[in-house]
């Protein structure tokens, strides 16, 4: 019975029983046919193993592709979020430019530029006397307005630069209020200008330092001054 394998030609002699089943009495086959059948069976096993290995590899490839698709989707979502943030920053800068662009009817009666270290929003000690002096001068001017504009160098992400420019402007304004005695009623909302209006090239350390700044101006309406 162990010799009867798939692919082996055989001759059978026998008769049918009451259940119409063939009852073999004699089974014959050639030795050469048995060798051929065994050779065929020996070739089938590796083929089946290879097929299984191929199936497993396909499954791995499908899992890898699915993972790559998920990573790509995540990157696209992150890129979309960054684009939205950039658009929001541009809108904020445009709004600030529009507000400050309406100052053509004002005279500039004093100005101080405060420079900041890389990634810093802290006012260095050397600029504090200048800000106090500017505040003192402003309070001698009729109907004065203080304008504060914060900037950042174009190094790093747009979102970070927008945040830095806003924090720098806010810190300078806080100093003017607390140390300079400037009331809020005489201050324009501080402008976070991001990387707009660069005054130097950001390809050098000196240029980057020049762009990390807050510009403070004393303004007076030309109608008040009569000019």
What local confidence, expressed as pLDDT, does residue 31 receive? 85
Cβ contact 161:152 at 8 Å: yes
pLDDT for residue 98: 52
Cα(153)–Cα(67) distance, rounded to whole angstroms?
A: 38
Tell me what pLDDT residue 41 has: 72
Domain map of the chain by residue range?
99-225
**Closest alpha carbon to 191 in 128, 101, 124:** 101
CA distances (Å), origin 177, targets 134, 142, 186: 12, 18, 10
**pTM, to two decimals:** 0.55
Residues 6+ apart with CB under 8 A from 28: 10, 11, 12
Q: In the CATH hierarchy, which fold is given to the domain comprising 99-225?
A: 60s Ribosomal Protein L30; Chain: A; (3.30.1330)
Cα gap 128→109, rounded to integer Å:
19
96: nearest Cα among 165, 153, 159: 165
pLDDT of residue 217: 94
Q: How far from the centroid of its chain's Cα atoms is residue 78's Cα?
A: 5
Q: What gap in Å lies between CA 13 and CA 202, rounded to an integer?
A: 98
Q: Mean pLDDT in runs of 10 for the chain (227 residues)?
A: 76 87 86 79 65 82 88 84 71 57 74 94 96 96 93 90 93 95 89 86 90 94 71
Q: Are 191 and 169 in contact (CB under 8 A)?
A: yes
What does residue 58 show for φ and ψ, rounded to 5 degrees? Answer: -60, -40
């Amino acid at each position: 019975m162990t010799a009867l394998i798939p692919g082996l030609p055989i001759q059978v002699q026998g008769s049918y029983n009451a259940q119409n089943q063939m009852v073999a009495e004699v089974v014959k086959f050639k030795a050469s046919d048995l060798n051929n059948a065994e050779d065929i069976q020996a070739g089938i096993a590796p083929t089946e193993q290879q097929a299984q290995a191929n199936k497993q590899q396909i499954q791995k490839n499908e899992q890898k592709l699915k993972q790559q698709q998920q990573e790509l989707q995540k990157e696209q979502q992150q890129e979309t979020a960054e684009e939205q943030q950039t658009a929001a920053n541009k809108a904020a800068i445009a709004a600030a430019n529009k507000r400050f662009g309406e100052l053509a009817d004002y005279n500039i009666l004093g100005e101080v530029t405060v420079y900041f270290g890389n990634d810093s929003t802290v006012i260095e000690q050397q600029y504090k006397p200048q800000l106090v002096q500017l505040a003192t001068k402003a309070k001698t001017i009729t109907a004065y307005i203080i304008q504060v504009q914060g900037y950042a160098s174009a190094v790093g992400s747009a979102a970070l630069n927008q945040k830095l420019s806003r924090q720098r402007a806010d810190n300078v304004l806080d100093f003017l209020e607390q140390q300079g005695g400037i009331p809020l009623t005489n201050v324009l909302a501080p402008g976070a200008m991001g990387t707009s209006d660069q005054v130097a090239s950001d390809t050098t350390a000196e240029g980057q330092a020049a762009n990390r700044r807050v510009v403070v101006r004393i303004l007076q309406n030309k109608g008040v001054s009569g000019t």
